[in-house]
Amino acid sequence: MNLSTSTLALAAMHCRLGAPRLGHDELVAHMAHLSGWQVAGAAIARTFAFDNYPATIAFVNAVAFIAQREDHHPELRVGYAECTVTYGTHSAGGITLNDVICAAKVERLFA
């Protein structure tokens, strides 16, 4: 999977404390660069598929590392061969640039 220049640019950014909720047009523009991610209420989510449980857990651990480094933590739903990653910023009441940045970092990891 080749990532777009915009996705790579987002993935190179870092989260900032107090990021405001994105407006509709901003969100639509960012979502166009995040393959497979969907808006789910006040969050964005994507399910990633793997061949087996060890591969799934390796991915979960890598996502946890990103979350700690960025101080922005997703909700994770883990199954045997899949993991759903959900980002939303409760304090902002919706989706922020931080959510999109972290989604792009996870996208880069999976690619």
Tell me the pLDDT tens digit for each residue of 65-86. 999 999 999 999 999 999 999 9
Mean pLDDT of 27-39: 96
Domains assigned to the chain: 5-110 (3.30.1360.20)
Nearest to 99 by CA among 77, 61, 72: 72
d(CA 77, CA 73): 13
- What is the C-alpha radius of gyration for the chain, rounded to an integer number of angstroms? 13
The answer to whether residues 44 and 31 touch, using CB atoms and an 8 Å cutoff, is: yes
3-state DSSP of 98-111:
HHHHHHHHHHHHHC
What is the tens place of the pLDDT at every residue in 4-20?
A: 888 999 999 999 999 99
d(CA 79, CA 59): 12
Q: Residue 4 has what pLDDT?
A: 85
Taking 70 as the threshold, does the pLDDT of residue 1 lie above it? no
The answer to whether residues 30 and 10 touch, using CB atoms and an 8 Å cutoff, is: yes
